[in-house]
Amino acid sequence: MSGPAKRGGVRHVKKLALDSPKNDINVTPLVDVCLVLLIIFMVITPMMSRGKEVKLPKTEFHYNRKDKMQPVIAIDRDGILWYEKIKLGEVTPNTLAQMSESIKRGWDKVKDAENQNRVYLKADDSLPYSKVYPVLMAINEMGVTSIDLGTNEREGQ
């Protein structure tokens, strides 16, 4: 015979105490949840912005207002007119007419009667005013009660 039976003893295995608390923290679930939330926010955030992204002019007195879901018109630095994220083209009488029709269709989506005749206009900060003026006049001729101009707050106040 060989092994423990040869010596006549029985091998004893130390019993683990199940009552003792575990001293280490399992952070794997926490890291998993944080990474999933990060990915969700990275995917959803670009979808939440409305209208074409343009570099807005900086203002000293910036008014932060909740989005009223009014139609968004944007003019990029090349003078291209956008309705929401739909490219309409350069500012011409045809694109201004197309913009007017799009705005009227956009007002149908607005549920609040107060915001029915409002438009949000975003124009690139490098764009000369002569490119913005025809758009402002076309919006004004539609009978719009309020044109909200998009701006960013100047930093270092």
Per-block mean pLDDT, blocks of 10 residues, the chain (157 long)? 57 66 82 94 79 78 71 88 88 89 82 76 87 90 83 72
Contacts from 100-107 at CB under 8 Å and sequence distance 24+?
100/138, 100/139, 100/142, 102/71, 103/71, 103/73, 103/139, 103/142, 103/144, 104/142, 106/70, 106/71, 107/70, 107/71
The per-residue pLDDT for 32 is 94
Q: Locate the domains of the chain by residue range.
A: 58-153
Q: Give ∠ CA 137-143-146 in degrees, rounded to 5.
A: 80
The per-residue pLDDT for 55 is 78
The per-residue pLDDT for 34 is 95
Give the pTM. Answer: 0.64
The per-residue pLDDT for 37 is 94
